[in-house]
């Protein structure tokens, strides 16, 4: 597959670490480094298998985590007048600082959205957290998508399909496929969309097409609850650019 999508247009390594901490319900002040390193590397490997271009900062973070893990495996020798310095201390401080920054950014966006409602301005995209119909949705992350996609691919790993002739697939074909799914409806299930495809390559190309459409803000991806299925909503732009 020649197509590549730069990962850093979505989230960075700190976002992935916070995602893993929340997913495993880990105390951010007492991170089990071996567990986090294992899961972090698994996500990186899966992203590489999807042909996502993993930015250097992700690799640097992986090296940092491995270094911390190695330091924690060494025997601790502390003198009488010395205090034990936890190898995780700097990482934890950076994560807490980054989390505060993310929360401040979220609040600023929320204020902006509230001010926008005072005018007759129609937003080009769905708010980060918004009521759509009778449900309240929260904006999903790249890692939420990867988590569900990995579950689907793992579940169907042992399924063997035989084809007489393989059809030629392109990114453009899968973008059209996704956009056509919106005919007459406002949202589609990410899990159902991927699961209905039989071919592994088609699943991967469709996943990458979703990321491309999200990057261009043609679609928005939301969840009702954390770690549940993801809903893909069509944006205003799709009505003008329907294929």
160-186 per-position pLDDT tens digit: 454 444 567 788 899 999 999 998 888
Higher pLDDT, 154 or 91: 91
Domain residue spans of the chain: 1-121, 124-243
Strand pairing partners for 137? 130
Task: Using the predicted structure, report yes or no on whether residue 91 has a pLDDT greater than 80.
Answer: yes
Half-sphere exposure (Cβ direction) of 233: Cα atoms closer than 13 Å:
21
CATH class, range 124-243 = mainly alpha
pLDDT score, position 84: 76
Q: Are 144 and 223 in contact (CB under 8 A)?
A: yes
Distance between CA atoms of residues 91 and 94, nearest Å: 5
Give the pLDDT band (50/70/90) at residue 157: low
Provide the pLDDT for residue 70: 94
Could you tell me the CA-to-CA distances from 94 to 44, 85, 241 in Å, in that order?
A: 21, 16, 42
Torsion angles phi and psi, residue 94, rounded to 5: -65, -40
- Per residue in 114-156, pLDDT (tens digit) is 776 665 444 444 445 455 555 667 788 888 888 899 888 887 6
Give the whole-angstrom CA distance, residue 41 versus residue 44: 5
Spell out the long-range contacts of 168-175 with Cβ–Cβ below 8 A and sequence spacing 24 or more.
169/199, 169/201, 169/202, 169/205, 170/205, 171/3, 171/205, 171/208, 171/209, 171/212, 173/205, 174/202, 174/205, 174/206, 174/208, 174/209, 175/209, 175/212, 175/213, 175/243
Reported in sequence order, the residue ranges of 61-201 that DSSP labels E, i.e. its strands, are 129-132, 135-139, 187-189
| DSSP letter assigned to residue 181 | T
């Amino acid at each position: 597959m020649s197509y590549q999508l730069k990962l850093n247009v979505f989230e960075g390594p700190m976002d992935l670490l916070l995602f893993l901490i929340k997913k495993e319900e880990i105390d951010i002040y007492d991170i089990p480094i071996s567990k986090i390193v294992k899961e972090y590397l698994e996500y990186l490997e899966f992203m590489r298998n999807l042909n996502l271009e993993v930015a250097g900062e992700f690799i640097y973070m992986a090296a940092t985590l491995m270094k911390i893990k190695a330091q924690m495996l060494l025997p601790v020798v502390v003198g009488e007048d010395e205090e034990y310095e936890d190898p995780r201390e700097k990482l934890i401080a950076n994560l807490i600082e980054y989390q505060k920054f993310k929360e401040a950014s979220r609040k600023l966006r929320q204020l902006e959205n509230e001010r926008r409602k005072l005018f007759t301005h129609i937003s080009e995209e769905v708010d980060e957290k918004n009521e759509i119909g009778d449900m309240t949705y929260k904006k999903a992350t790249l890692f939420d998508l990867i988590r569900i996609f990995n579950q689907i691919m793992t579940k169907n790993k042992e399924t063997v399909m035989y084809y007489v002739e393989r059809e030629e697939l392109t990114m453009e074909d899968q973008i059209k496929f996704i956009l056509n799914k919106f005919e007459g409806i406002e949202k589609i299930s990410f899990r159902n969309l991927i699961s209905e495809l039989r071919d592994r390559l088609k699943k991967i190309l469709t996943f990458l097409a979703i990321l491309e459409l999200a990057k261009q803000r043609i679609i928005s991806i939301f969840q009702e609850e954390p770690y549940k299925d993801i809903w893909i909503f069509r944006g205003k732009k799709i009505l003008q650019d329907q294929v």
